[in-house]
């Protein structure tokens, strides 16, 4: 993102609207969707940082770990499970989302905009995961990097300039 700030700006704006701005889905729920997709795509950086954000908002790291690999068994609302199911399908292919997946989400109380945002959050992370891994970016070795990012993002959202390179 620092290499090409012109393209970083709309990516950050999109992430901010979808994950941070007011929504009927909580910030924790939306970060969990991002984390689940990043885990499905095996993107270590994205699942670590967004998992840390999700844990911050939900106050439960163990729940995030379980939601990454087995959301159906996790202590989550039936609505969020249905949305995570849609997000997991989107991660494979948009064409894998079925009318039954949508009907299940609706039956659990999801609105059209929640379904829309779930699909777009999942699609956005299919972008971010590939951007991060396709350029073989460096993963910080210390978890402190991720812990330090959490309060900054929680306070300011995704509009901030890219963080400087980690030196520790």
- The site for other proteins (CB under 8 A) is made up of 3-4, 6-7, 9-11, 13-14, 17-18, 41-43, 86, 89-90, 93-95, 97, 99, 102, 112-113, 115-117, 119-120, 122-124, 126-136
Q: How far is Cα 121 from Cα 38, in angstroms, rounded to an integer?
A: 11
Q: Which is nearer to other proteins, 64 or 119 (CB)?
A: 119
Q: Which is nearer to other proteins, 69 or 127 (CB)?
A: 127
Other residues' Cβ atoms within 10 Å of the Cβ of residue 121: 25
Least distance (Å) between residue 116 CB and other proteins: 6
Least distance (Å) between residue 111 CB and other proteins: 9
Least distance (Å) between residue 84 CB and other proteins: 14
Q: How far is Cα 52 from Cα 59, in angstroms, rounded to an integer?
A: 10
DSSP string, 77-141: -HHHHHHHHHHHHHHH-GGG--HHHHHHHHHTT--HHHHHHHHHHHHHHHHHHHHHHHTTPPPPS
Query: Left, alpha or beta for 54 (phi > 0: left; psi -120 to 50: alpha)?
Result: alpha
Least distance (Å) between residue 68 CB and other proteins: 17
Q: Which is nearer to other proteins, 21 or 72 (CB)?
A: 21
Q: Which is nearer to other proteins, 63 or 88 (CB)?
A: 88
């Amino acid at each position: 993102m620092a290499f090409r700030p012109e393209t970083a700006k709309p990516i950050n704006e999109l992430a901010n609207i979808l994950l941070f701005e007011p929504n009927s889905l909580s910030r924790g729920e939306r970060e969990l969707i991002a984390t689940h997709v990043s885990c499905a795509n095996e993107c270590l950086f994205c699942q670590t940082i967004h998992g840390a954000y999700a844990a911050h908002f939900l106050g439960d790291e163990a729940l995030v770990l379980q939601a990454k690999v087995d959301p159906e068994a996790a202590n989550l609302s039936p609505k969020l499970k249905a949305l995570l199911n849609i997000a997991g399908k989107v991660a494979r292919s948009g064409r894998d989302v079925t009318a039954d997946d949508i009907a299940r989400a609706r039956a659990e109380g999801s609105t059209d905009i929640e379904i829309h945002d779930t699909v777009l959050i999942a699609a956005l992370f299919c972008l971010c995961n590939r951007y991060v891994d396709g350029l073989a970016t460096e993963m910080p070795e210390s978890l402190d990097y991720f812990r330090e990012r959490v309060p900054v993002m929680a306070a300011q959202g995704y509009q901030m300039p890219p963080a400087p390179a980690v030196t520790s």
